[in-house]
Every structure is written in C-alpha cells, then in structure tokens.
Amino acid sequence: MASGAHYGVAKNASIISIKVCNATGSCQYSDIIESLTYIGNQHTNSSNKNTVVNMSLGGGFSQITNNAVEELVKKGVHVVVAAGNSATDACTFSPASAPDAIAVGATNTSTDAIASFSNFGSCVCIFAPGTNIQAAGRQSSTALSSYSGTSQATPHVAGTVALIISYIGNKSPAQMKVELNNLSTKDAVTGNISTSPNRFLRVPYCQK
C-alpha cells in the first residue's frame, strides 16, 4: 500500500521488510524494540537518510517501546504508526502514544467518517482511508485482496512521507509532521473523533 507497483502511494520507493510478529500475528515488544534498534543502526551507517518506518502493529501502553520510537525519531527517522483498532483512546496504546511518532487513524473509504474500529484522541496525528483497501494478495503474484484497519491507513501516510521526500527533499521528523498537517484537508472527517485533530490525508503528488 505504501509502495505497490499497482496499488501504492510511493510506487518507486524501496521497501525493506523486518519481521517482528509470528505466524498468528502475535508480536513481542522485545522483538519490536530490537527491530527499531536495528533500523536506527542501519540509518546511522547509511549515506541515504531518507528512512520512513511503517509500524502497522501495536498493543497496550509500553513506555520502553515508546522510548525506542523516540530514539529512532531523534536520529531523523520518520516513524508512522497505526493508532489501533479498539475504538478507544490511542494514547493507551503503543507505539501510537509515542509523542514524536505520526499516529494514523482510519476512516471509512466511502464516507470519510471515522471507521467504527479506529482509535482516536489527542495522540492521533492524521486520518487516512482504512476500510476495504485493495492491495496485493498473497495467493499469487497477481492476486488482490481487500483489507481494513488502521494498519491499512498507516501505509497511506508512510507512502505520502516518502513522496514528499522525493519531490521536495527530506525534512526533520518534526518538520514532516508540520508538512503533513499543512497539506491535509481540515474538518473532512465526520463522526465522533473525540479530541482527535480533524485532519484527513491529502497526497500532494502523483507517482506513476
């Protein structure tokens, strides 16, 4: 979704997959933290500093996980995280509650209303489409599947960050947050978004 050849926002971005969850989808915070440390080391040692991390995962609040995210952001890495799918305050989840991460809530693709499952609150930075999202399926090299969740909204934003970098150059993570906010469509999300900022992702560039 962030960088698919047919269904992707930043179609020319390079993706490196890091496995932190098992076959049933269970993720241990220790594995997540280890992966973030690995990414930080790779970023530090690379001449290419255009690193965007998509974290379509999460669980209960974990300060040590949030700290690992914050350390990555301090190195200049853009960390985009799912707000969560419990229809409650995202600030009670990690990494959604990491202060310098870009936490993404989900909207209904057909109505732009907040998705019934999406977490919300002041820790959410922006909303993006998160229901019935078409993307590559695992059944074959040409298969398509439909997915729903804040895990689907998140790569829309991560891909947009990559696009912004490719068109106007890299920025600090704090500046990138401001750029996303400035580009977003205001007051477009309907429904009860509680204390969430009413910002809807707008993709400013097109990559074929």
pLDDT at 206 over 80: no
Rounded CA-CA distance 208/129 in Å is 20
Residue 56 is predicted with a pLDDT of 96
pTM, full prediction: 0.93
pLDDT at 75 over 90: yes
Domain tally for the chain? 1
Residue 3 is predicted with a pLDDT of 64
Q: How is residue 82 written in tokens? A: 């799912």
Could you read off the pLDDT of 117-134 as tens digits, one per residue? 999 999 999 999 999 998
pLDDT at 208 over 60: no
Q: List Cα–Cα distances, 70 to 18, 141, 152, 156, in angstroms.
A: 19, 37, 23, 22
Residue 126 belongs to domain with CATH number = 3.40.50.200
Could you read off the pLDDT of 10-19 as tens digits, one per residue? 888 889 999 9
Whether residue 172 is contained in a domain is answered as yes
Task: Summarize the confidence of residues 154-174 as an average pLDDT.
Answer: 96
Task: Summarize the confidence of residues 13-42 as an average pLDDT.
Answer: 93
Residue 204 is predicted with a pLDDT of 81
Q: In terms of residue numbers, what domain contains 95?
A: 29-200
End-to-end CA distance of the chain: 14
